[in-house]
Amino acid sequence: MSKKLLILLCILIILIFSGGCFPETAPTGISDSETPPVQVAEADEPPDIAPEDRTLRIAAVGDIMMHDSMIQAGRQPSGGYDFSSFFAAAAPYLKEADLLIGNLETPLAGAHFGYSGYPRFNTPEILAENLGAAGFDVLLTANNHCMDQGYTGLINTLDVLDAAGLAHTGTFRSQDERDQILMFSIKGVHIAVLAYTYGSNGLLPPKGKSFSVNFIDTQTILSDIKRAHYVDKAELIIVGLHFGTEYELDPNKDQQQLVQQIFAAGADIVLGSHPHVLQPMSSENDRFVIYSLGNFISDQRGIERLSSVILQLSYSLETAGEKPVLEDIGLVPIRTRRFKYNGMNSFEVLPILPALEDASAGSSIYSEEEIAALKESLDFIDQQLGGD
């Protein structure tokens, strides 16, 4: 096990048996990180970097899914929908990031399409506002469900995200929009975000609209990376890849080969999705890949599909104008909790360590069965991401 991951594991163990490293306001009921919450700040590159701004925090989560049971759980007695409670327990950790990225694996096409889960998703539009309130900045929309409600549903989804103030990339309304790299300037660092998918479940864009979905094509990806670097002057390049084999715990050779080509072209971070389970991560020479972030939230079953992490990458900004240096890799273990509230099904993204801390203190609201499941999830996460 590497020194960095050994230290991380020690921190995880300490946190389970101590109460000093969690935000005091972090909810653990119905209704990891060691740095105080900060807000996304866009600014021109400063001549000097203030001490408090010498760390850039980029966070990412996996698949944001909404099955039929989850849509029903979000229905309000007074009418309409609200999914904000799903994310309340995780929000304090999500909001610590300067830039938070997630994979939106459902269209937000509108009520006239009919709300539905698998196999052709369509979630109430309020989800966009709920995600924004939880701390999300960017949603990747290139995945195999992006065409579930057709081209019109794809366009409507982007309009809804715009209305909620959420940036997005991977699907597009025009060729001009597709040709514009999604860029951020945060703490003086120019950051590019790109996203691509292996396919769209056979539901293809209409003739003449091929620009609307970024399908994985190696030469296209390499060209986009070079454009982000040389034209848009990106100092960090993040690439989301919806690829791999569903439910496989290890990346295949095609995934590994594509990531190496992307790194060789100049990308710094690769965030994988689609398998719905965690796949290993690695870092070398300030370049980082996690082959699959698993499910952030879903109603899939099984320990592998319910267990994931909030990934936290910290970059040092010691000198203005110099390329950021990857300083730390943090993980906040999470589990999708399915439970009964007022006789109805409900869901939440539950940070595991605070829940186990409550259990060790004898103040847990969770059953013995749930506590055992949380420990099982923690073991699985360590198995997948804990290193050799």
Query: Rounded to the nearest 10 degrees, what angle do helices 253-265 and 218-230 cross at?
Result: 30
| Tokens coding 227 | 């454009």
**pLDDT value of position 145:** 98
Long-range contacts of 318-326 (CB under 8 A, 24+ apart): 318/49, 318/54, 319/49, 320/45, 320/46, 320/47, 320/48, 320/49, 320/188, 321/45, 321/188, 323/235, 323/236, 323/286, 324/56, 324/189, 324/235, 324/236, 325/286, 326/283, 326/286, 326/287, 326/288
**pLDDT value of position 344:** 85
| Tokens coding 198 | 């292996």
**pLDDT value of position 37:** 31
Q: How many CB atoms lie within 10 A of CB 265?
A: 18
> Tokens 């190696």 — which residue?
218
Cα separation, 60 vs 269, whole angstroms? 11
* Torsion, CA 38, CA 95, CA 237, CA 382, rounded to 10: 120
Cα separation, 142 vs 331, whole angstroms? 24
**pLDDT value of position 48:** 53
Per-residue pLDDT of the chain in tens (388 residues, 90 and over written 9):
443 443 344 344 333 334 333 333 233 232 233 333 323 334 344 445 555 578 999 999 999 999 999 999 999 998 999 999 999 999 999 999 999 999 999 999 999 999 999 999 999 999 999 999 999 999 999 999 999 999 999 999 999 999 999 999 999 999 999 999 999 999 999 999 999 999 999 999 999 999 999 999 999 999 999 999 999 999 999 999 999 999 999 999 999 999 999 999 999 999 999 999 999 999 999 999 999 999 999 999 999 999 999 999 999 997 666 789 999 999 999 999 999 888 888 999 999 999 999 888 888 789 899 999 999 999 999 999 986 4
Phi and psi at residue 251, to the nearest 5° = -70, 150
**pLDDT value of position 50:** 59
First to last CA, the chain: 4
330 Cβ partners below 8 Å, 6+ apart? 8, 32, 33, 34, 311, 312, 313, 314
Q: CB-based burial of residue 211 (10 Å sphere; 0-12 exposed, 13-18 middle, 19+ buried)?
A: middle
Q: CB-based burial of residue 303 (10 Å sphere; 0-12 exposed, 13-18 middle, 19+ buried)?
A: middle
Contact 328, 311 (CB under 8 A): no
**pLDDT value of position 351:** 98
pTM of the complete model: 0.87
**pLDDT value of position 52:** 57
| Tokens coding 2 | 């590497």
Phi and psi at residue 227, to the nearest 5° = -65, -40
- In the chain, the amino acid numbered 271 is L
Nearest to 314 by CA among 97, 134, 62, 102: 97
Contact 325, 286 (CB under 8 A): yes
**pLDDT value of position 343:** 80
**pLDDT value of position 233:** 96
**pLDDT value of position 321:** 63
**pLDDT value of position 341:** 83
**pLDDT value of position 320:** 61
User: Computed from CA positions of residues 338, 341, 344, 349, in that sequence, does the dihedral angle turn out positive or negative?
Assistant: negative
> Tokens 């996460």 — which residue?
381
**pLDDT value of position 181:** 98
Phi and psi at residue 15, to the nearest 5° = -65, -30
Tell me which DSSP letter residue 204 carries.
Answer: P
**Which residues partner with 168 through β-bridges?**
139
